[in-house]
């Protein structure tokens, strides 16, 4: 588990490592840039933001500095969440989340059932 906090800022769409002071200055002056994209779909809204802190708490893997979440309007409990390392991946995840909403917000349980059924189906062909 990582024990240090790593700060980041955005330079355009590029993620740049920053000191605490640089990070604080960026939030004060350019913090509005952390809101990457928002899409309203019926009773839901999809939000993608730049976190500015590494949310990968493991010792391996890339820094996770973007987050996409789906919220039901009037409810702050996220229905869906994913994190990514790059601006381009964050935009792709935003579109995936929008598609998830358009597809009826299929629950995680249903997704796991679908995966289990696919695996059982594949075993028949061994």
Domain ranges of the chain: 7-123
* Per-residue exposure over 71-83, b if at least 16 CB sit within 10 Å of its own CB, e if not: beeeeeeebbebb
What burial class does residue 14 get, using C-beta atoms within 10 Å of its C-beta: 0-12 exposed, 13-18 middle, 19+ buried? Answer: exposed
Contact yes or no for 63/54 (Cβ under 8 A): yes
pLDDT at 75: 75
pLDDT at 20: 94
pLDDT in single tens digits along all 126 residues of the chain:
666 788 999 999 999 999 999 999 999 998 888 999 999 999 899 999 999 998 887 777 888 999 999 998 877 666 788 999 999 999 999 999 999 898 888 654 555 555 555 555 555 444
pLDDT at 47: 94
Instruction: Tell me how crowded residue 42 is: count the other CB atoms within 10 A of its CB.
Output: 10
- Closest C-alpha to 50, from 62, 34, 37: 34
pLDDT at 61: 80
What burial class does residue 25 get, using C-beta atoms within 10 Å of its C-beta: 0-12 exposed, 13-18 middle, 19+ buried? Answer: middle
All residues at 6 or more sequence positions from 24 whose CB lies less than 8 Å from its CB, including other chains: none
């Amino acid at each position: 588990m990582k024990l240090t906090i790593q700060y980041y800022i955005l330079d355009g769409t590029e993620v740049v490592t920053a000191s605490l002071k640089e990070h604080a200055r960026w939030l004060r002056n350019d913090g509005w840039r952390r809101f990457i994209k928002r899409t309203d779909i019926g009773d839901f809204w999809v939000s993608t933001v730049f976190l500015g802190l590494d949310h990968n708490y493991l010792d391996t893997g890339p820094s996770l500095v973007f987050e996409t979440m789906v919220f039901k309007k009037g409810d702050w409990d996220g229905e869906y969440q994913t994190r990514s390392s790059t601006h381009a991946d964050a935009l792709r995840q935003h579109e995936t989340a929008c598609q998830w909403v358009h597809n009826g917000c299929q629950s995680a349980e249903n997704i796991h059932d679908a995966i289990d059924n696919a695996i059982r189906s594949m075993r028949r062909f061994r």
